[in-house]
Amino acid sequence: MTDKPILDDTSRAPVSQRGYVIEKSGMDDAIGGKVTINIDGKDIKIPLGTTILEAARSLGIRIPTLCYHEDLCVAGVCRICVVEVEGQRTLQAACGYPVTAPITVKTHTRRVRQARRHILDLMLSKHYGECYACFRNNNCELQTLAKEYGVDFFRFGHPEKPLYAVDRSSPSVIRDMNKCILCRRCVRTCIDLQEVGVLEGHGRGADVEIQTFMNKPLGEVICINCGQCINRCPTGALRANDPTDEVWAAIDNPDKHVVIQTAPSPRAAIGENFGLEPGTALTFELNTALRRCGFDRVFDTNFSADLTIIEEGTELLLRLYKALVEKDASIALPQFTSCSPGWVKFLEHFYPEYVPNLSSAKSPQQMFGALIKTYYAELNKIDPKDIVTVALMPCSAKKFECNRPEMCDSGYKDVDYGLTTRELAQMISETGIFLPDMPRSDFDDPFGTATGSGVIFGATGGVMEAALRSVYELVSGERIENIFEHADIIPVRGFQGVKYVELTLDKIGPVPDLLKPLVPNWDWLKGATVKLGVAHGTANAKRVMDDIKAGGKFSECHFIEFMACPGGCLGGGGQPIPTSPSIREARAKAIYAEDSVYEIRKSHENPAVLKVYNEFLREGPCGHKSHKLLHTSYIERGKYIS
């Protein structure tokens, strides 16, 4: 396999499009040397162009910020980070002051403290609401700074009633502009980080508001429900649409059988809500806590992730067979992954002509829901109408996905409620549970067996790696470890925004029993070079899609993984706040560490998945029954099954 960088013209892009990592290496040569500055009596030598804020942080000196965020380009609009620069008449915004000559900086003089306090007082004069009734209580940057700067009364007054109606039109995101401080993080997130452009600043001066297009409700514009704006909002102006009251009602109803599936990304992050360092996995502690909360069964979404790999991988092989062997020109290639609902909605809005390229396979969340209300209901002799399926996901777009009208192939709503990591952490706290102290327990059968391939779905490149582990072995008859040590496919890992890889199939084996009804042999793949792509964040997805439209490198790919969120699911819009490149990296390490200790690390070797095919989906992957339950209507548009 070769790892070829492509589309790397990112020198002028904001930090959000440079693989989500702030890099300074090479700045000396590019800009021309270093300069020594003094901050609060401490000297530091820094590359020219480094901001005062970055220099101060490298010295361990804290300068407060509100509009600044590591993922976003500099705005300098809140002015909370103002500092004194010797010789300058006015205070300067540390986040937007690039150092080009020796300077002396003071970060906490009386003048600076007063300026910051006045700015906070002005923000609070328009900030309606009580902290105790806000979901960001004790995790609000404005609240934290108000306490830090001794705000104990409203110097410039305080709104007595809301100025704006709360927008609840979206299935995923709620907007309360009464709590907005005009930092524009949401605007920069939507425009720069995701390149969707739903939000913008409208008006001038004191009349500025953050609005959607023509100030329409969020549910009526092209929002993809990714929730990245929520993760970067410093206050409670943006939050997820929370169904916990309905989930509690189901748990408290003795006539309802309530089951929950948990995805790997929340398990690697939920500890942050209980004061643990990012990257502390609490997978098995969480199982115990969920049972104590009242859930009747706790299942592992990794099971249906393995199922997704089998269905999606089979679909890819069928598309290739029809295109290469049967010369069917109607086959849509490259095939796109379909497990990220934010990405699916992005494609539907901005590139609708490529919808047939989407895999028809449902996401693991939705596959699980369909099986629970059919296979599981039959096994346990439970009426499906009495089953309530809940999904713990890192993603606010999963709320939108489970409410899509086509997601009811079981005869019922396949997944009833989607919970974010933050929401479940709150439910656990309501029960008086301190999650890190819980004893460990396993998942419930028949969906308690999973593999390492299911785990790595949580990181960008994980779906591609899981697919390669299985597809390579199913086609070649050889172990993937012969090419990649410990089956770790490093070229598709990491936070580079866009990745391109190739894999040549030098050997082929017999068609395994699972796939014999679909293709006669693999002779047509011998010597073929499979071309693959990976992109995370819809800004990077846009780069790949535009390249495909232009007939570029990615138009030659056979399979491309797209994830709507930075870093993949581990950076989802429902994950703990705050987020940053280092936090997402820590979560990824936890996910790969969990993958490495699994005894079974390939989806096609999952005995629980094979049992489902033997007992329930007897026609095998992409058979009639699996199409009905595990795939979407896109299959008709793709026209790739005879």
Instruction: Specify whether 315 is catalytic.
Output: yes
280-284-286-292 Cα dihedral, nearest 10 degrees = -150
Domain residue limits, the chain: 33-119, 126-240, 258-303+365-437, 307-364+449-638
pLDDT at 15 over 70: no
Q: How confident is the model at residue 29 (pLDDT cuts 50, 70, 90)?
A: very low
pLDDT for 582 equals: 97
Render 435-449 in DSSP notation, one character per residue.
Answer: GGGSPP--PPTTS--
pLDDT for 633 equals: 64
Residues 336 and 360: beta-carbon distance below 8 Å: no
Query: Distance (Å, rounded) from C-alpha 561 to C-alpha 231?
Result: 23
Stretch 14-24: mean pLDDT, rounded?
Answer: 35
Helix (H, G, I), strand (E, B) or coil at 547: helix
Q: How confident is the model at residue 545 (pLDDT cuts 50, 70, 90)?
A: very high
Of the candidates 329, 261, 322, which has an alpha carbon nearest to the alpha carbon of residue 290? Answer: 261
pLDDT for 91 equals: 98
Superfamily of domain 307-364+449-638 in the CATH hierarchy: Fe-only Hydrogenase (Larger Subunit); Chain L, domain 3 (3.40.950.10)
Whole-angstrom CA distances from 630 to 339, 359, 414, 440, 449 are 12, 11, 10, 31, 19
Instruction: Specify whether 130 is catalytic.
Output: no
Tell me which of 246, 378, 406, 481 is the catalytic residue.
406
Average pLDDT, the chain: 93
Query: Distance (Å, rounded) from C-alpha 126 to C-alpha 236?
Result: 14
Q: What is the pLDDT of residues 359-401, one digit of tens each?
A: 999 999 999 999 999 999 999 999 999 999 999 999 999 999 9
pLDDT at 640 over 90: no
Tell me which of 172, 359, 363, 470 is the catalytic residue.
359
Instruction: Specify whether 140 is catalytic.
Output: no
Number of Cβ within a 10 Å radius of residue 413:
18
Instruction: Specify whether 312 is catalytic.
Output: yes
Instruction: Specify whether 401 is catalytic.
Output: yes
Burial class (CB in 10 A: 0-12, 13-18, 19+), 297: buried
Render 385-434 in DSSP notation, one character per residue.
Answer: GGEEEEEE-S-THHHHHHTSTT--TTSS-S--EEE-HHHHHHHHHHTT--
Interior CA angle at 169 toward 160 and 365, to 5°?
A: 125
Q: What is the pLDDT of residues 77-101, one digit of tens each?
A: 999 999 999 999 999 999 999 999 9
Of the candidates 467, 487, 511, which has an alpha carbon nearest to the alpha carbon of residue 620? Answer: 511
Stretch 578-590: mean pLDDT, rounded?
Answer: 98
Number of Cβ within a 10 Å radius of residue 316:
22
Q: What is the pLDDT of residues 262-301, one digit of tens each?
A: 999 999 999 999 999 999 999 999 999 999 999 999 999 9
Q: What is the pLDDT of residues 292-340, one digit of tens each?
A: 999 999 999 999 999 999 999 999 999 999 999 999 999 999 999 999 9
Residues 526 and 553: beta-carbon distance below 8 Å: no
Q: Which CATH class is domain 33-119?
A: alpha beta
Whole-angstrom CA distances from 176 to 126, 208, 210 are 13, 15, 11
Q: Which CATH class is domain 126-240?
A: alpha beta
Tell me which of 84, 272, 311, 401 is the catalytic residue.
401
Same fold, 126-240 and 307-364+449-638: no
Of the candidates 124, 188, 130, which has an alpha carbon nearest to the alpha carbon of residue 158? Answer: 124
pLDDT at 637 over 70: no
In SS3 terms, 61-129 reads as CCCCCCCCCCCCCCCCCCCCCEEEECCCCCCEEHHHCECCCCCEEECCCHHHHHHHHHHHHHHHCCCCC
Q: What is the pLDDT of residues 446-457, one digit of tens each?
A: 998 889 999 999
Q: What is the pLDDT of residues 131-146, one digit of tens each?
A: 999 999 999 999 999 9
Share of the chain above pLDDT 70, in %: 93
Render the burial of 164-194: b for 16+ CB within 10 Å, e for the rest.
eeebebbbbbbbbbbbbbbbbbbbbbbbbbb
* DSSP type of residue 209: E
pLDDT at 12 over 70: no
Query: Distance (Å, rounded) from C-alpha 370 to C-alpha 401?
Result: 13
Tell me which of 54, 141, 195, 312 is the catalytic residue.
312
Instruction: Specify whether 359 is catalytic.
Output: yes
Sign of CA dihedral 458, 238, 248, 369: negative
pLDDT at 31 over 90: no
Tell me which of 285, 315, 465, 473 is the catalytic residue.
315
CATH topology for 258-303+365-437? Rossmann fold (3.40.50)
pLDDT for 206 equals: 84
Residues 455 and 567: beta-carbon distance below 8 Å: no
Q: What is the pLDDT of residues 164-217, one digit of tens each?
A: 999 999 999 999 999 999 999 999 999 999 999 999 999 998 899 999 999 999
Interior CA angle at 418 toward 634 and 216, to 5°?
A: 75
The tokens describing 599, both together, are 């005894």
Query: Distance (Å, rounded) from C-alpha 577 to C-alpha 573?
Result: 9
